[in-house]
A and B are shown apart, each in its own frame.
Chain A
Amino acid sequence: MNKMWTALRREYLSRVKTKGFIIGTILFPVFLAVMFVVPTLMMLIKSDKPKQIAVIDQTGEILDSLRVSLSDKNEAGDLLYNLIPHDAEDLEAAKNTLSVSVEAGGLDGYIIIPATIYEEGVAEYYGKSVTNFQENRSFQNAITRAVTEKRIQRSGLESEKVRQMVRGVDLQTFRVGPGGKEEKDEGMTFGIAYFLGFFIYMAMFIYGALVQRSVIEEKTSRVIESVISSIKPFQLMAAKILGVGAVGLTQFMIWAIAIGLLSLYGVQAASIFAPKAGAAQGFHMPTVSLGVLTFFVLFFVLGYFLYATIYAGVGAMVNSEQEAQQLMLPISMFIIAPILLIMYVIGNPSSQASVILSLVPFFAPILMLARIVVETPPVWQIALCLVLMVGTIVGLIWVVGRIYRVGVLMYGKRPTLPEILKWIRYA
């Protein structure tokens, strides 16, 4: 036990003290902060000047309504669009002039509202770029509203009454949580499920690879034989997995604290750069319940043990990291698959396919967790999932322990599958 502690400590310290670890650990929260602050700043920069949009209004009456319906403002309260009426007598000539002006940058775009718009319902927008779908949609909505308004007036109805009659309905969603408690959900649940799944996905890759590199390093540097003459190979493998796990946990804690601070003070920090932005935006970090957090840690740890063991086994079989990469490709699929499936599972958390997929131990860390976040699966399913995972991990440790024992002393040709089976049998 003492020896395992010695090996574990070496594993931990030798990784935590590297520059790579320190830089990576600091850079991730910085990256997050930048991701958070930059869009806020961008929004402010964008709002400096309203977009200049020319309008050729062949009906002669839409433009005034359009001014009302297209009055989007930015956070600072300035108009986003400045609508400039343009003479519509010779359409082709007007289009030419305006296009030149758009090309030169004097205008951002122009809208043509033909005289036939009430009947045909077609307007045109010309702009330097027309890929901002949000903008296109707000033009479309604004013109629609203006045209509808005029149509109603022309038919002699009272527009205020009609508007009230056709007013849309807002569907609010509530999630029924454990104990039948309802909570308002604004799409946050989806975000949390996806984010937590993605975090586990990243962690499996990063820390799994770290375990593997550690195994390969001892092999290629030929230090392994000295080490396993003093500590049992199995103990060494366990120390490695636990040591790198502790590294992961350290990093994770630092990040958790950073994210916590960011959510507490992030808005204030952002408002230093953009005084008008923070408060107006009303941003708040999603909150995660304690139950979900517990399951997250549980699946994180189990998932880590599962994949770290596999990574260690592969490391013991190969002679170099390049060789390991080839061998890891099919195994990586097991980590990637649940990330591809998570959309479906979040959308249909209690379908039969979701239930079965989330019980597969290799997928469970991501998919069962996602199900737990978006709904509350029956207790027996969670229990079965955990039993299956623990069973798989124990089995894997047994198999990989044997592969490891033989593999770390094997140099040269990569072993074939029958050879590996022989190792497992005779080790």
Chain B
Amino acid sequence: METLRVENVNKSFGALEAVKDLSLAVPPGTVYGFLGPNGAGKTTTIRMIMEIILPDSGQIVINGQRNTSADALDRVGYLPEERGVYRKMKVREALEFFAELKGMKRRVHGPKIDAWMERFEMTAVRDKKLEELSKGNQQKIQFLTTVIHEPDLIILDEPFMGLDPLNADLVKEVILEQKARGAAIVFSTHLMESAEKLCDAICLINKGKKVLDGEVRSVKRNFGRNHVALEYDGKPDFLVELKNNGLVESYNDSGNHVEIHLRNAASPQKLLAAAMQHVAVLRFEVVEPSLHEIFIATVKEN
């Protein structure tokens, strides 16, 4: 049984159709990337899952239970994109408060909170007010409130926003642990690199409609193997030329490193030969397309 099933959900705000006939399924023990450009309907969908707004039609099922049924959402942890803290509350009090809001009993959550605080290096500030903490530490506390009750479904909207690399790694580590425990993690982001590394499956939505979904491996396979990663030394002008003479469909140049999408049936060897005429080639590799590439190509096509 899937942990989360979204079934034919629609939602309009006046004339704007925010989500159109969206269906998706997330099995347990999966990190599920929920991707899409700004305004695609990601937050609206997530808010419908959390029953903060109600869909016009369709239904959402969590662990086989409608999300409208009592306490269904107690087994869910949610980190919204618009997030903040009770500024005047003490660190430990805030964690207790959210644990109890998720239905945890006082004597159960105590030791768990202590263990988490220890691990997140928060023990020293347990009696400090949240407003006295740095932004990064506040973020860590918010993240903790989403996992403290060991939920079956964890929904994270831009979880790495505002975290330094050290803390980002800590959060990533916890996400993977939760996955190993059997939780389903839905995770929405603009950062394709972190999605690429973490996700087992993705769903890409644009203008409220699903345009692509499935396991990351099969998504990439379906997108084709005509992608080349090229590292070079020299002027990037040759790329324009290659595109003009029909060899290259599109490219994504980061300066000295370029990801190239070949025109159908164009051979990578030809590209290598052409490139060597213009620049010094440092690395040449036929690769699977990155999620970044897939994202841009799919959204543009739409």
Binding site for B on A (CB under 8 A): 2-3, 6-7, 10, 14, 18, 217-218, 221-223, 225-231, 409, 411
Contact = CB atoms under 8 A, between A and B. Distances in A.
12 contacts: A6-B100, A10-B86, A14-B89, A217-B87, A222-B83, A223-B84, A223-B85, A226-B78, A229-B50, A229-B73, A231-B101, A409-B82
Contacts of A225: 47, 52, 80, 82-83
B195 to A, nearest CB: 22
Nearest to A219: B84
Interface string B82-99: 111111110000000110
Given A225-B52, A226-B80, A226-B142, A3 B101 contact: yes
Given A14-B86, A225-B47, 4 more contacts: A2-B100, A10-B86, A18-B88, A409-B47
Nearest to A222: B84
A221 B52 contact: no
The 6 tightest CB contacts between A and B, nearest first, are: A222-B84, A230-B101, A225-B80, A221-B84, A229-B50, A6-B100
Given A228-B52, A229-B50, A10 B97 contact: yes
Nearest to B84: A222
Interface in B130-148: 142, 145
Interface string B32-74: 0000000000000001001111000000000000000000011
B286 to A, nearest CB: 44
Nearest to B142: A226
Nearest to B88: A14
A230 B155 CA distance: 13
| Range, interface on chain B | 20 to 34
Contacts of B80: 225-226, 229
Nearest to B97: A10
Contacts of A230: 73-74, 78, 98, 101-102
Contacts of A217: 87
Interface SS of chain B: helix, strand, loop or mixed?
loop
Contacts of A218: 86
B83 A2 contact: no
A218 B87 CA distance: 9
A227 B53 CA distance: 14
Nearest to A220: B84
Interface in B102-150: 102-103, 142, 145
A409 B52 contact: yes
B103 A221 contact: no
A228 B51 CA distance: 9
Contact of A223 (B47, B50, B78, B86): B86
Task: Give the residue among A217, A225, A409, A411 with the most B Cβ atoms within 10 A.
Answer: A225
A227 B101 contact: yes
B78 A3 contact: no
B83 A223 contact: yes
Nearest to A17: B88
B101 A7 contact: yes
A349 to B, nearest CB: 46
B178 to A, nearest CB: 17
B240 to A, nearest CB: 42
Contact of A229 (B52, B87, B103, B142): B52
Contacts of B74: 230
Contacts of A226: 78-80, 83-84, 98, 142, 145
A222 B82 contact: yes
A12 to B, nearest CB: 12
A6 B97 contact: yes
A413 to B, nearest CB: 15
Task: Give the residue among A3, A14, A223, A226 with the most B Cβ atoms within 10 A.
Answer: A226
A99 B47 CA distance: 84
A157 B176 CA distance: 114
Given A3-B103, A226-B145, A230-B73, A221 B78 contact: no
Nearest to B14: A422
A10 B93 CA distance: 9
Contacts of A409: 47, 52-53, 82
Contact of B78 (A2, A18, A229, A411): A229
Task: Give the residue among A3, A6, A227, A230 with the most B Cβ atoms within 10 A.
Answer: A230
Contacts of A221: 84-87
Contacts of A411: 82
B162 to A, nearest CB: 13
Interface in B15-37: none
Nearest to B101: A230
Contacts of B78: 226, 229-230
A319 to B, nearest CB: 13
A2 B85 CA distance: 22
Contacts of B85: 221, 223
A227 B52 CA distance: 10
B47 to A, nearest CB: 8
A229 B100 CA distance: 13
A222 B83 CA distance: 5
Nearest to A218: B86
A3 B53 CA distance: 20
A417 to B, nearest CB: 16
A408 to B, nearest CB: 9
Contacts of B89: 10, 14
A229 B142 CA distance: 13
Contacts of B76: 229
Nearest to A13: B93
Nearest to A18: B88
Nearest to B89: A14
Nearest to A409: B52
A217 B89 CA distance: 12
A230 B76 CA distance: 9
A86 B102 CA distance: 90
A18 B129 CA distance: 13
A36 B100 CA distance: 47
Contacts of A228: 52
A305 B271 CA distance: 75
Task: Give the residue among B52, B82, B88 with the most A Cβ atoms within 10 A.
Answer: B52
Nearest to A236: B101
Contacts of A18: 88
Nearest to B106: A6
